[in-house]
Amino acid sequence: MTATRGLEGVVATTSSISSIIDDTLTYVGYNIDDLTENASFEEVIYLLWHLELPTKEQLQQLKEELAENMELPQEVLASFKTYPLEKVHPMAVLRTAVSALGIFDEDAEVMDKEANYKKAIRLQAKMPAIVAAFARIRKGLEPIAPRKDLGFAANFMYMIKGEEPDEIEVEAMNKALILHADHELNASTFTARVCVATLSDIYSGITAAIGALKGPLHGGANEQVMKMLTEIGSADNVESYIKDKLEKKEKIMGFGHRVYRKGDPRAKHLKEMSKKLTEITGEPEWYNISVKVEEVFTSEKPLPPNVDFYSASVYHSLGFDHDLFTPIFAVSRTSGWLAHILEQYENNRLIRPRAEYTGPGMRSYIPLDERK
Ligand code: CMC
Protein backbone atom coordinates (compact mmCIF):
# COMPACT_ATOMS: atom_id res chain seq x y z
CA MET A 1 0.00 0.00 0.00
CA THR A 2 1.41 3.39 -1.00
CA ALA A 3 -0.15 6.58 0.29
CA THR A 4 -0.99 9.46 -2.05
CA ARG A 5 -0.02 12.61 -0.14
CA GLY A 6 -3.04 14.84 0.36
CA LEU A 7 -5.05 12.38 -1.78
CA GLU A 8 -3.88 14.35 -4.84
CA GLY A 9 -5.49 13.03 -8.01
CA VAL A 10 -7.50 10.39 -6.11
CA VAL A 11 -11.08 10.05 -7.38
CA ALA A 12 -12.99 9.29 -4.19
CA THR A 13 -16.62 9.34 -5.33
CA THR A 14 -18.98 9.88 -8.24
CA SER A 15 -21.14 13.01 -8.12
CA SER A 16 -23.67 14.75 -10.37
CA ILE A 17 -23.36 18.12 -8.67
CA SER A 18 -20.35 20.07 -9.91
CA SER A 19 -17.40 19.39 -12.12
CA ILE A 20 -13.99 20.88 -12.84
CA ILE A 21 -12.82 19.93 -16.32
CA ASP A 22 -9.98 21.79 -18.05
CA ASP A 23 -10.19 24.65 -15.56
CA THR A 24 -13.91 25.14 -16.23
CA LEU A 25 -16.27 24.87 -13.27
CA THR A 26 -19.86 23.79 -13.86
CA TYR A 27 -22.80 23.30 -11.52
CA VAL A 28 -24.89 20.39 -12.85
CA GLY A 29 -23.67 21.17 -16.37
CA TYR A 30 -24.10 24.97 -16.26
CA ASN A 31 -20.92 27.00 -16.57
CA ILE A 32 -20.50 29.19 -13.48
CA ASP A 33 -19.82 32.15 -15.81
CA ASP A 34 -23.35 31.77 -17.13
CA LEU A 35 -24.90 31.33 -13.69
CA THR A 36 -22.98 34.26 -12.18
CA GLU A 37 -24.17 36.61 -14.91
CA ASN A 38 -27.79 35.46 -14.99
CA ALA A 39 -29.01 33.55 -11.94
CA SER A 40 -30.00 34.31 -8.37
CA PHE A 41 -28.37 32.44 -5.48
CA GLU A 42 -31.73 30.82 -4.70
CA GLU A 43 -31.89 29.40 -8.24
CA VAL A 44 -28.42 27.95 -7.71
CA ILE A 45 -29.43 26.38 -4.38
CA TYR A 46 -32.37 24.75 -6.15
CA LEU A 47 -30.14 23.58 -8.98
CA LEU A 48 -27.62 21.99 -6.62
CA TRP A 49 -30.30 20.21 -4.60
CA HIS A 50 -32.60 19.10 -7.46
CA LEU A 51 -30.10 18.92 -10.34
CA GLU A 52 -32.38 21.13 -12.50
CA LEU A 53 -33.05 24.86 -12.56
CA PRO A 54 -36.39 25.71 -10.92
CA THR A 55 -39.56 26.86 -12.67
CA LYS A 56 -40.99 30.19 -11.46
CA GLU A 57 -43.31 28.36 -9.05
CA GLN A 58 -40.56 26.13 -7.69
CA LEU A 59 -38.29 29.13 -7.16
CA GLN A 60 -41.03 31.06 -5.40
CA GLN A 61 -41.70 28.12 -3.11
CA LEU A 62 -38.01 27.76 -2.22
CA LYS A 63 -37.73 31.50 -1.51
CA GLU A 64 -40.76 31.34 0.77
CA GLU A 65 -39.45 28.28 2.59
CA LEU A 66 -36.08 29.94 3.14
CA ALA A 67 -37.66 33.19 4.35
CA GLU A 68 -39.92 31.28 6.77
CA ASN A 69 -37.02 29.34 8.31
CA MET A 70 -34.47 32.07 8.94
CA GLU A 71 -35.25 32.82 12.56
CA LEU A 72 -32.98 31.24 15.17
CA PRO A 73 -34.10 29.44 18.35
CA GLN A 74 -33.92 31.86 21.30
CA GLU A 75 -31.64 29.40 23.14
CA VAL A 76 -29.04 29.61 20.36
CA LEU A 77 -29.21 33.41 20.23
CA ALA A 78 -28.95 33.68 24.02
CA SER A 79 -25.87 31.42 24.05
CA PHE A 80 -23.95 33.93 21.90
CA LYS A 81 -24.00 36.42 24.76
CA THR A 82 -22.15 33.92 26.97
CA TYR A 83 -19.14 33.68 24.63
CA PRO A 84 -15.89 35.65 25.09
CA LEU A 85 -17.15 38.14 22.50
CA GLU A 86 -13.93 40.04 21.91
CA LYS A 87 -11.80 36.98 21.30
CA VAL A 88 -13.93 34.32 19.69
CA HIS A 89 -13.69 33.83 15.93
CA PRO A 90 -17.06 33.93 14.14
CA MET A 91 -16.20 30.61 12.42
CA ALA A 92 -15.99 28.97 15.85
CA VAL A 93 -19.37 30.51 16.70
CA LEU A 94 -20.85 29.29 13.42
CA ARG A 95 -19.52 25.77 14.01
CA THR A 96 -20.94 25.72 17.54
CA ALA A 97 -24.27 27.27 16.55
CA VAL A 98 -24.89 24.73 13.78
CA SER A 99 -24.21 21.93 16.23
CA ALA A 100 -26.60 23.56 18.71
CA LEU A 101 -29.31 23.90 16.05
CA GLY A 102 -29.25 20.11 15.78
CA ILE A 103 -30.20 19.92 19.46
CA PHE A 104 -33.27 22.10 18.92
CA ASP A 105 -34.47 20.43 15.69
CA GLU A 106 -36.93 17.69 16.58
CA ASP A 107 -36.24 16.01 13.21
CA ALA A 108 -32.45 15.99 13.73
CA GLU A 109 -32.26 12.21 13.95
CA VAL A 110 -35.05 11.44 11.45
CA MET A 111 -33.21 10.15 8.41
CA ASP A 112 -35.87 9.81 5.70
CA LYS A 113 -35.59 11.82 2.49
CA GLU A 114 -38.40 14.23 3.33
CA ALA A 115 -37.03 15.03 6.79
CA ASN A 116 -33.54 15.50 5.40
CA TYR A 117 -34.78 17.94 2.75
CA LYS A 118 -36.67 19.93 5.40
CA LYS A 119 -33.52 20.11 7.51
CA ALA A 120 -31.54 21.27 4.49
CA ILE A 121 -33.93 24.21 4.05
CA ARG A 122 -33.84 25.03 7.75
CA LEU A 123 -30.06 24.99 7.88
CA GLN A 124 -29.51 26.96 4.68
CA ALA A 125 -31.98 29.58 5.91
CA LYS A 126 -30.44 29.88 9.37
CA MET A 127 -26.80 30.16 8.31
CA PRO A 128 -26.95 33.89 7.41
CA ALA A 129 -29.01 34.57 10.54
CA ILE A 130 -26.27 33.04 12.72
CA VAL A 131 -23.49 35.06 11.10
CA ALA A 132 -25.50 38.27 11.20
CA ALA A 133 -26.74 37.86 14.77
CA PHE A 134 -23.27 37.20 16.11
CA ALA A 135 -21.78 40.07 14.12
CA ARG A 136 -24.23 42.42 15.85
CA ILE A 137 -24.26 40.90 19.34
CA ARG A 138 -20.49 41.21 19.68
CA LYS A 139 -20.83 44.95 18.98
CA GLY A 140 -23.49 45.32 21.64
CA LEU A 141 -26.27 45.58 19.03
CA GLU A 142 -29.51 43.64 18.96
CA PRO A 143 -29.92 40.99 16.23
CA ILE A 144 -32.26 42.00 13.43
CA ALA A 145 -35.09 39.72 12.34
CA PRO A 146 -35.03 38.72 8.65
CA ARG A 147 -37.51 40.39 6.28
CA LYS A 148 -39.79 38.11 4.29
CA ASP A 149 -39.83 40.55 1.34
CA LEU A 150 -36.06 40.43 0.76
CA GLY A 151 -34.14 37.79 -1.20
CA PHE A 152 -31.36 35.70 0.36
CA ALA A 153 -28.44 38.01 -0.52
CA ALA A 154 -30.28 41.20 0.48
CA ASN A 155 -31.59 39.68 3.71
CA PHE A 156 -28.12 38.53 4.70
CA MET A 157 -26.69 42.04 4.28
CA TYR A 158 -29.71 43.64 5.93
CA MET A 159 -29.44 41.41 8.99
CA ILE A 160 -25.75 42.24 9.40
CA LYS A 161 -25.90 45.99 8.83
CA GLY A 162 -29.44 46.91 9.81
CA GLU A 163 -30.08 48.80 6.59
CA GLU A 164 -31.34 47.64 3.25
CA PRO A 165 -28.45 47.25 0.78
CA ASP A 166 -28.58 49.03 -2.58
CA GLU A 167 -28.96 47.28 -5.92
CA ILE A 168 -25.22 47.16 -6.67
CA GLU A 169 -24.45 45.64 -3.27
CA VAL A 170 -27.15 43.00 -3.66
CA GLU A 171 -25.90 42.13 -7.15
CA ALA A 172 -22.33 41.74 -5.88
CA MET A 173 -23.40 39.65 -2.89
CA ASN A 174 -25.56 37.45 -5.09
CA LYS A 175 -22.65 36.84 -7.46
CA ALA A 176 -20.24 36.10 -4.61
CA LEU A 177 -22.70 33.62 -3.11
CA ILE A 178 -23.09 31.86 -6.48
CA LEU A 179 -19.33 31.69 -7.04
CA HIS A 180 -18.71 30.06 -3.65
CA ALA A 181 -21.70 27.68 -3.71
CA ASP A 182 -20.04 24.43 -4.73
CA HIS A 183 -16.68 23.14 -5.80
CA GLU A 184 -16.57 19.42 -6.45
CA LEU A 185 -14.75 17.41 -3.76
CA ASN A 186 -12.96 20.23 -1.91
CA ALA A 187 -11.73 19.54 1.62
CA SER A 188 -14.85 20.68 3.50
CA THR A 189 -17.26 18.92 1.13
CA PHE A 190 -15.25 15.72 1.44
CA THR A 191 -15.36 16.15 5.23
CA ALA A 192 -19.15 16.50 5.13
CA ARG A 193 -19.48 13.39 2.95
CA VAL A 194 -17.15 11.33 5.16
CA CYS A 195 -19.16 12.36 8.22
CA VAL A 196 -22.62 11.55 6.87
CA ALA A 197 -21.43 8.36 5.16
CA THR A 198 -21.44 6.85 8.67
CA LEU A 199 -25.19 7.68 8.54
CA SER A 200 -24.65 10.50 10.97
CA ASP A 201 -27.11 13.42 10.72
CA ILE A 202 -27.01 16.59 8.59
CA TYR A 203 -26.13 18.88 11.52
CA SER A 204 -23.06 16.76 12.26
CA GLY A 205 -22.07 16.85 8.57
CA ILE A 206 -22.30 20.64 8.30
CA THR A 207 -20.56 21.16 11.67
CA ALA A 208 -17.66 19.01 10.47
CA ALA A 209 -17.54 20.84 7.13
CA ILE A 210 -17.38 24.24 8.85
CA GLY A 211 -14.40 23.01 10.86
CA ALA A 212 -12.60 22.05 7.64
CA LEU A 213 -13.47 25.29 5.82
CA LYS A 214 -12.11 27.38 8.70
CA GLY A 215 -8.45 26.58 8.00
CA PRO A 216 -6.31 29.14 6.12
CA LEU A 217 -5.41 26.64 3.38
CA HIS A 218 -9.13 26.44 2.53
CA GLY A 219 -11.86 29.04 3.23
CA GLY A 220 -9.86 30.82 5.90
CA ALA A 221 -7.59 32.19 3.15
CA ASN A 222 -9.87 35.13 2.30
CA GLU A 223 -9.46 36.69 5.76
CA GLN A 224 -5.68 36.17 5.55
CA VAL A 225 -5.61 37.91 2.15
CA MET A 226 -7.23 41.01 3.66
CA LYS A 227 -4.75 40.90 6.53
CA MET A 228 -1.92 40.84 3.98
CA LEU A 229 -3.39 43.71 1.91
CA THR A 230 -3.73 45.76 5.09
CA GLU A 231 -0.14 45.02 6.13
CA ILE A 232 1.10 46.01 2.67
CA GLY A 233 -0.85 49.27 2.88
CA SER A 234 0.22 50.73 -0.48
CA ALA A 235 0.96 49.47 -4.00
CA ASP A 236 4.52 50.85 -3.61
CA ASN A 237 5.23 48.33 -0.82
CA VAL A 238 4.07 45.26 -2.72
CA GLU A 239 7.32 44.22 -4.35
CA SER A 240 9.45 44.22 -1.19
CA TYR A 241 6.66 42.61 0.88
CA ILE A 242 6.07 39.70 -1.50
CA LYS A 243 9.75 39.08 -2.20
CA ASP A 244 10.51 39.07 1.52
CA LYS A 245 7.75 36.53 2.20
CA LEU A 246 8.94 34.29 -0.63
CA GLU A 247 12.53 34.47 0.58
CA LYS A 248 11.28 33.26 3.96
CA LYS A 249 9.47 30.41 2.11
CA GLU A 250 6.10 31.70 3.32
CA LYS A 251 2.95 31.13 1.29
CA ILE A 252 1.04 34.03 -0.21
CA MET A 253 -2.61 33.51 0.63
CA GLY A 254 -5.14 33.52 -2.20
CA PHE A 255 -2.80 31.92 -4.76
CA GLY A 256 -2.41 28.35 -5.96
CA HIS A 257 -4.84 25.50 -6.25
CA ARG A 258 -4.75 21.72 -6.05
CA VAL A 259 -6.86 21.25 -9.20
CA TYR A 260 -6.63 24.37 -11.42
CA ARG A 261 -3.53 24.83 -13.49
CA LYS A 262 -4.20 27.79 -15.81
CA GLY A 263 -6.40 29.62 -13.33
CA ASP A 264 -9.43 29.54 -11.05
CA PRO A 265 -12.43 30.52 -13.22
CA ARG A 266 -14.10 32.23 -10.25
CA ALA A 267 -11.26 34.68 -9.72
CA LYS A 268 -11.90 36.76 -12.87
CA HIS A 269 -15.45 37.58 -11.74
CA LEU A 270 -14.26 38.63 -8.31
CA LYS A 271 -11.45 40.70 -9.81
CA GLU A 272 -13.95 42.60 -11.94
CA MET A 273 -16.23 43.08 -8.94
CA SER A 274 -13.31 44.26 -6.82
CA LYS A 275 -12.43 46.93 -9.39
CA LYS A 276 -15.99 48.19 -9.60
CA LEU A 277 -16.74 48.14 -5.87
CA THR A 278 -13.46 49.71 -4.73
CA GLU A 279 -14.08 52.58 -7.18
CA ILE A 280 -17.60 53.07 -5.82
CA THR A 281 -16.40 53.10 -2.21
CA GLY A 282 -13.59 55.52 -3.07
CA GLU A 283 -10.92 53.02 -1.95
CA PRO A 284 -9.36 51.92 -5.25
CA GLU A 285 -6.09 51.20 -3.43
CA TRP A 286 -7.40 47.79 -2.31
CA TYR A 287 -7.84 46.78 -5.93
CA ASN A 288 -4.56 48.40 -6.98
CA ILE A 289 -2.60 46.66 -4.23
CA SER A 290 -4.26 43.35 -5.15
CA VAL A 291 -3.40 43.69 -8.84
CA LYS A 292 0.20 44.53 -7.98
CA VAL A 293 0.42 41.52 -5.63
CA GLU A 294 -0.86 39.34 -8.46
CA GLU A 295 1.72 40.80 -10.87
CA VAL A 296 4.68 40.46 -8.52
CA PHE A 297 3.73 37.03 -7.13
CA THR A 298 2.94 35.40 -10.49
CA SER A 299 6.20 36.70 -11.96
CA GLU A 300 7.99 34.78 -9.17
CA LYS A 301 5.73 31.71 -9.12
CA PRO A 302 3.34 30.67 -11.88
CA LEU A 303 0.41 30.20 -9.50
CA PRO A 304 -2.70 32.20 -10.42
CA PRO A 305 -5.07 33.76 -7.88
CA ASN A 306 -7.85 31.56 -6.51
CA VAL A 307 -11.38 32.44 -5.37
CA ASP A 308 -10.14 33.82 -2.06
CA PHE A 309 -7.83 36.49 -3.45
CA TYR A 310 -10.15 39.12 -4.93
CA SER A 311 -13.09 38.12 -2.72
CA ALA A 312 -11.20 39.79 0.14
CA SER A 313 -11.38 43.29 -1.36
CA VAL A 314 -14.94 42.58 -2.56
CA TYR A 315 -16.17 41.74 0.96
CA HIS A 316 -14.22 44.65 2.43
CA SER A 317 -15.90 46.99 -0.06
CA LEU A 318 -19.30 45.59 0.90
CA GLY A 319 -18.55 46.73 4.44
CA PHE A 320 -18.09 43.40 6.20
CA ASP A 321 -15.75 42.92 9.17
CA HIS A 322 -12.73 40.98 7.97
CA ASP A 323 -13.30 37.99 10.23
CA LEU A 324 -16.75 37.55 8.67
CA PHE A 325 -15.27 36.76 5.25
CA THR A 326 -14.92 33.02 5.90
CA PRO A 327 -18.35 32.72 7.58
CA ILE A 328 -19.84 34.40 4.47
CA PHE A 329 -18.08 31.75 2.37
CA ALA A 330 -19.62 29.11 4.67
CA VAL A 331 -23.14 30.52 4.24
CA SER A 332 -22.79 30.06 0.49
CA ARG A 333 -20.95 26.72 0.57
CA THR A 334 -23.67 25.27 2.83
CA SER A 335 -25.76 24.93 -0.34
CA GLY A 336 -23.07 22.72 -1.88
CA TRP A 337 -22.40 20.81 1.33
CA LEU A 338 -26.11 20.04 1.66
CA ALA A 339 -26.34 18.94 -1.97
CA HIS A 340 -23.43 16.54 -1.43
CA ILE A 341 -24.86 15.27 1.86
CA LEU A 342 -28.22 14.52 0.20
CA GLU A 343 -26.40 12.82 -2.68
CA GLN A 344 -24.30 10.77 -0.26
CA TYR A 345 -27.41 9.53 1.58
CA GLU A 346 -29.00 8.51 -1.75
CA ASN A 347 -26.24 6.04 -2.61
CA ASN A 348 -24.33 5.58 0.61
CA ARG A 349 -21.31 3.51 1.41
CA LEU A 350 -19.06 4.08 4.42
CA ILE A 351 -15.93 6.06 3.44
CA ARG A 352 -13.02 4.30 5.07
CA PRO A 353 -9.68 4.46 3.27
CA ARG A 354 -6.42 2.88 4.45
CA ALA A 355 -3.14 4.32 5.76
CA GLU A 356 0.35 3.27 4.73
CA TYR A 357 1.94 2.38 8.07
CA THR A 358 5.33 4.01 8.67
CA GLY A 359 5.79 3.28 12.41
CA PRO A 360 8.06 0.68 14.11
CA GLY A 361 7.84 -3.03 13.24
CA MET A 362 6.21 -5.63 15.49
CA ARG A 363 7.42 -5.36 19.13
CA SER A 364 6.74 -7.15 22.42
CA TYR A 365 5.16 -5.38 25.35
CA ILE A 366 7.67 -4.31 28.04
CA PRO A 367 6.27 -4.28 31.59
CA LEU A 368 6.24 -0.74 33.08
CA ASP A 369 8.95 -1.33 35.74
CA GLU A 370 11.34 -2.82 33.16
CA ARG A 371 11.16 0.23 30.83
CA LYS A 372 14.11 2.64 30.70
N1 CMC B 1 2.39 30.85 -2.11
C2 CMC B 1 3.65 30.40 -2.29
N3 CMC B 1 3.95 29.17 -2.71
C4 CMC B 1 2.94 28.35 -2.96
C5 CMC B 1 1.59 28.73 -2.81
C6 CMC B 1 1.33 30.02 -2.36
N7 CMC B 1 0.09 30.46 -2.19
N8 CMC B 1 0.78 27.71 -3.12
C9 CMC B 1 1.61 26.68 -3.45
N10 CMC B 1 2.88 27.09 -3.36
C11 CMC B 1 4.08 26.27 -3.66
C12 CMC B 1 4.42 25.41 -2.45
O13 CMC B 1 5.26 26.06 -1.54
C14 CMC B 1 5.06 24.22 -3.11
O15 CMC B 1 6.36 24.57 -3.48
P16 CMC B 1 7.54 23.50 -3.42
O17 CMC B 1 7.14 22.41 -4.38
O18 CMC B 1 8.73 24.29 -3.84
O19 CMC B 1 7.60 23.03 -2.00
C20 CMC B 1 4.25 24.06 -4.40
O21 CMC B 1 3.75 25.37 -4.70
C22 CMC B 1 3.07 23.10 -4.26
O23 CMC B 1 2.27 23.56 -3.17
P24 CMC B 1 1.40 22.65 -2.24
O25 CMC B 1 1.06 23.37 -0.99
O26 CMC B 1 2.00 21.28 -2.11
O27 CMC B 1 0.12 22.50 -3.18
P28 CMC B 1 -1.25 21.87 -2.75
O29 CMC B 1 -1.91 21.41 -3.97
O30 CMC B 1 -1.05 20.91 -1.66
O31 CMC B 1 -2.00 23.11 -2.09
C32 CMC B 1 -3.14 25.11 -1.78
C33 CMC B 1 -2.96 23.90 -2.69
C34 CMC B 1 -4.35 25.88 -2.27
C35 CMC B 1 -3.39 24.65 -0.35
C36 CMC B 1 -1.88 25.98 -1.84
O37 CMC B 1 -1.70 26.49 -3.14
C38 CMC B 1 -1.91 27.09 -0.83
O39 CMC B 1 -1.53 26.88 0.32
N40 CMC B 1 -2.37 28.32 -1.19
C41 CMC B 1 -2.51 29.39 -0.27
C42 CMC B 1 -3.77 29.21 0.57
C43 CMC B 1 -5.02 29.50 -0.24
O44 CMC B 1 -5.11 30.47 -0.95
N45 CMC B 1 -6.04 28.64 -0.06
C46 CMC B 1 -7.30 28.76 -0.77
C47 CMC B 1 -7.49 27.65 -1.76
S48 CMC B 1 -8.74 27.89 -2.98
C49 CMC B 1 -10.23 28.16 -2.23
C50 CMC B 1 -10.60 27.29 -1.11
O51 CMC B 1 -10.52 26.08 -1.20
O52 CMC B 1 -10.95 27.84 -0.09
Question: 203-251: per-residue pLDDT in tens?
Answer: 999 999 999 999 999 999 999 999 999 999 999 999 999 999 999 999 9
CB contact at 8 A, 253 and 259: no
Catalytic site residue 257?
yes
CB 107, CB 50: distance < 8 Å: no
User: How confident is the model over 168-191, as a mean pLDDT?
Assistant: 98
Say if ligand 1 is within 6 A of residue 186 CB. Answer: yes
- Write down the catalytic residue from 105, 308, 316, 340: 308
Confidence tier at 202 by pLDDT (50, 70, 90): very high
Q: Whose CA is nearest to atom 37 of ligand 1?
A: 256
Sign of CA pseudo-dihedral 306, 310, 312, 315: negative
Q: What is the mean pLDDT of residues 119-137?
A: 98
- Residue 1: predicted pLDDT: 85
pLDDT in tens, 254-265: 999 999 999 999
| DSSP3 helix / strand / coil % (the chain, rounded to 5) | 60, 5, 35
Nearest-angstrom CA–CA distance, 52 and 285: 41
| Spans of all domains in the chain | 31-215+322-346, 221-317
Q: Which atom of ligand 1 is nearest to the CA of 6?
A: 30
With a 6 Å cutoff on the Cβ, whether 146 touches ligand 1 is no
Tens digits of residue pLDDT in 56-114: 999 999 999 999 999 999 999 999 999 999 999 999 999 999 999 999 999 999 999 99
Q: State in Å: Cα 256 to ligand 1 middle.
A: 5
Is 37's pLDDT higher than 90?
yes
Look at residue 254 in the predicted model and tell me its pLDDT: 98
Condensed to tens digits (0 to 9), the pLDDT of residues 338-357 reads: 999 999 999 999 999 999 99
The whole-angstrom separation of Cα 194 and Cα 212 is 12
Q: What is the pLDDT of residue 23?
A: 95
CATH 3.40.50.720 matches 31-215+322-346: no
- Centre of ligand 1 to C-alpha 171, Å, is 30
Q: Is 257 in the pocket of ligand 1 (CB under 6 A)?
A: yes
Distance (angstroms) between ligand 1 centre and the Cα of 93 equals 27
CATH number of the domain at 221-317, please? 1.10.230.10
Q: What are phi and psi of 333, to 5 degrees?
A: -65, -20
Does pLDDT of 365 surpass 90?
A: yes
pLDDT score at 198: 98
Distance from residue 217's CA to the centre of ligand 1 (Å): 8
Looking at every residue in the chain, the average pLDDT score rounds to: 97
316 included as an active-site residue: no
Bridge partners, 21 (sequence order) = 24
Instruction: Please report the atom of ligand 1 found closest to the CA of residue 250.
Output: 2
314-330 tens-digit pLDDT: 999 999 999 999 999 99
pLDDT tens digits along 265-293: 999 999 999 999 999 999 999 999 999 99
Q: Which of 257, 321, 322, 323 is catalytic?
A: 257
For the Cβ of 254 lying below 6 angstroms from any atom of ligand 1, the answer is yes
Per-residue CA distances from 372 to 28, 183, 367, 369 (Å): 61, 52, 10, 8
- CA–CA separation, 309 vs 305, rounded Å? 6
SS3 18: strand
Q: Report yes or no: 134 and 91 within 8 Å, Cβ to Cβ.
A: no
